[in-house]
């Protein structure tokens, strides 16, 4: 990051270069996995695809790629002076290499690899037009990502780029054109981001209630018809990525976990038969009882003027931060007990 020194210890080169090595290894693994998913058959040119046939994940990754290119361009600044020579105010515009590297990394790691590749796995197993769209967009997105990363990772990006389907023999990534954003951008009204948020909510609930990763759960949706219909249309993808089936109809009465999402969408996860309600309630009750005792003692200390006036300011502020954190946790535990019927 900008302003952060990296210590290069000649006596321990392994430690000195570990961050860069890990960065390169991760990119190589992402690239090899993505290329394995795409296969070696010819891939349709991205420019020739019909956008009306795109799935929500396709529109989302194309939009995220455009955002990444814009972020990289803004961080680097203009390549040439607009007036033919650099004005004093322009000489240090851009050149935020840490922001540029992070924007490119985030797109490859967090968006392309973690979400889009995962969303495409099922499509790539079914021959047909939808498979070819997914293959083309995967190759296009990775091609553009390698162009963004090339200035900071020249050798490994060059090697991966040459392995892309359709690579022209003799062409070099080093001389390839820089990515550009579309002149007109019209983001979808309902985006794949809605599915993302719902999947993340289910994953968080699974973690909160220690539901085994392999166990499939069933959730119900409450909210605007357009949103609930959108999620149901992608129920196969939702089931595979979140290990959660989307049920039709209203949620049954009884203990249930709730996740309130944006745009008025709510997920309801019935807990009967999924977790041991009595055991889970007892565990949360014990944690809450201990936390409230600690919180009462902490609040008593903060209400004591002798403590707040004589203790170092940083100690007092640390205790106040702890009080805020513990209060938030207590509220969360009370909500969980209520969900469990306790």
Per-residue pLDDT of 110-147, as tens digits, reads 999 999 999 999 999 999 999 999 999 999 999 999 99
> What is the residue-wise DSSP string for 75-101?
HH--SS-TTSS--GGGTTSS--HHHHH
The residue among 262 and 148 whose pLDDT is bigger is 148
Residue 4 has pLDDT above 60, yes or no: no
Mean pLDDT of 316-331: 90
Six-digit token pair at 53? 């046939």
C-alpha distance from residue 252 to each of 189, 243, 289 (Å):
31, 20, 30
Percent of the chain with pLDDT over 90: 57
Chain centroid, CA 67 distance in Å: 14
How do beta strands 256-260 and 244-246 pair? Answer: unpaired
The residue among 10 and 55 whose pLDDT is bigger is 55
Q: Compute the distance between CA of residue 107 and CA of residue 264 in angstroms, rounded to an integer.
A: 28
Helix or strand run (H / E) with residue 244: strand 244-246
CA angle 335-338-340, nearest 5°? 115
* Confidence at residue 89, expressed as pLDDT on a 0 to 100 scale: 74
Listed residue (176, 163, 171) closest to 34, CA to CA: 163
Helix (H, G, I), strand (E, B) or coil at 184: coil
Residue 1 has pLDDT above 70, yes or no: no
Mean pLDDT of 65-70: 95
* Confidence at residue 38, expressed as pLDDT on a 0 to 100 scale: 92
Q: Compute the distance between CA of residue 163 and CA of residue 275 in angstroms, rounded to an integer.
A: 47
What is the radius of gyration, based on Cα positions, of the chain? Answer: 26
Task: Specify which of 7-11, 221-225, 260-264, 273-277 reaches the highest per-range mean pLDDT.
Answer: 221-225
CB under 8 Å to 61, separation ≥6 — which residues? 111, 112, 115, 116, 137, 141, 192
Q: Compute the distance between CA of residue 251 and CA of residue 242 in angstroms, rounded to an integer.
A: 19
Q: Compute the distance between CA of residue 117 and CA of residue 140 in angstroms, rounded to an integer.
A: 13
* Confidence at residue 111, expressed as pLDDT on a 0 to 100 scale: 95
* Confidence at residue 2, expressed as pLDDT on a 0 to 100 scale: 47
Per-residue pLDDT of 36-51, as tens digits, reads 999 889 999 999 999 9
* Confidence at residue 84, expressed as pLDDT on a 0 to 100 scale: 79
pTM: 0.79
* Confidence at residue 92, expressed as pLDDT on a 0 to 100 scale: 74
Alpha-helical (H) ranges within the chain are: 13-16, 18-38, 56-76, 97-106, 118-124, 129-149, 154-162, 192-208, 225-233, 235-242, 277-303, 305-310, 313-339
CB under 8 Å to 70, separation ≥6 — which residues? 181
């Amino acid at each position: 990051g900008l302003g952060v020194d990296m210590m290069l210890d000649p006596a321990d080169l392994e430690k000195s270069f570990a961050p860069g090595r890990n960065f390169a290894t991760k990119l190589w693994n992402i690239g090899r996995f993505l290329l394995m998913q795409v296969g070696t058959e010819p891939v349709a040119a991205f420019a020739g695809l019909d956008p009306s046939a795109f799935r929500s994940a396709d529109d989302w990754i194309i939009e995220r790629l455009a955002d990444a290119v814009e972020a990289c361009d803004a961080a680097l600044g203009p390549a040439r002076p607009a007036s033919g020579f650099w004005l004093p105010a322009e000489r240090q515009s851009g050149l935020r290499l840490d922001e540029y590297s992070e924007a490119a990394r985030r797109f490859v790691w967090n968006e392309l690899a973690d979400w889009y590749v995962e969303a495409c796995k099922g499509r790539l197993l079914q021959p047909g037009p939808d498979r070819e769209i997914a293959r083309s967009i995967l190759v296009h997105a990775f091609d553009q990502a390698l162009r963004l990363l090339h200035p900071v990772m020249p050798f490994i990006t060059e090697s991966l780029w040459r392995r892309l389907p359709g690579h022209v023999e003799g062409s070099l990534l080093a001389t390839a054109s820089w990515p550009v954003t579309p002149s007109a951008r019209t983001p979808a009204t309902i985006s794949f981001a809605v599915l993302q948020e719902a999947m993340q909510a289910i994953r968080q609930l699974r973690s909160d209630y220690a539901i085994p990763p392999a166990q499939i759960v069933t959730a119900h949706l409450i909210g605007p018809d357009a949103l609930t219909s959108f999620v149901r249309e992608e129920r196969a993808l939702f089931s595979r990525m979140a290990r959660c089936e989307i049920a039709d109809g209203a949620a049954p009465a009884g203990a249930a976990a709730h996740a309130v999402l944006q745009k008025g969408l709510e997920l309801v996860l019935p807990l009967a038969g999924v977790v041991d309600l009595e055991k889970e309630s007892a565990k949360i009750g014990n944690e809450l009882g201990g936390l409230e005792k600690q919180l009462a003692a902490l609040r008593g200390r903060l209400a004591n003027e002798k403590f707040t006036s004589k203790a170092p300011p940083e100690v007092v502020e640390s205790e106040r931060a702890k009080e805020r954190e513990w209060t938030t946790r207590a509220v969360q535990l009370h909500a969980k007990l209520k969900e469990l019927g306790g």
